[in-house]
Amino acid sequence: MVRFLVILIPPLASCAVITYDVTRDPIAAQISGRCFALQRDAYVVNTGGIGTKDRLMIPEGTCRGPEGALMPNRLCRLTTKALIPRGSTLTVLQVKNHAEGESGRCWAVTARLTPSSQFDGEVVVPSCGFSDLPQNWLDAPIPEWTKKPLEFRPDYLLPCQSPAP
């Protein structure tokens, strides 16, 4: 009996670390592959560490300096890579239902900034309140509470305007 339990426990414990790609699922249909425009100036930052990706950030709390500028300090440890002005656009590449260990689950949204911006590359769009920079630009805080397709909060991102015919 003990041998059976030892074999059964590791597969059950691993459920807390599974990440699901939901990019093509109905839950992500309104943001996946779509273009969005920034509604405020944002920064591309990196907090360092293994596997850390560049992410967008609008300064808040201890990271906000005079006049809203980003102010890295001992409580806000990050490397600033670029300032991305309001109106710049990005395209959502991937949406994941991501495991955060004991904290629970979060959305993880990856996008590509339009090449004409000051940064060329993929970035993580703030979508998880459990991260080291707790901002969430989505209208849904965590996957378990999400009942409708994901949308971005309009004070952060709005759909790009279609060009006039």
pLDDT band of residue 133 (cuts 50, 70, 90) is low
- For the whole model, what pTM was predicted? 0.80
Q: Which tokens belong to 41?
A: 């100036």
3-state secondary structure 57-122: ECCCHHHECHHHCECCECCECCEEEEEECCCCEEEEEEEEEEECHHHCEEEEEEEEECCCCCCCCE
For residue 13, the surrounding DSSP H or E stretch is helix 2-13
More confident call, 142 vs 14: 142
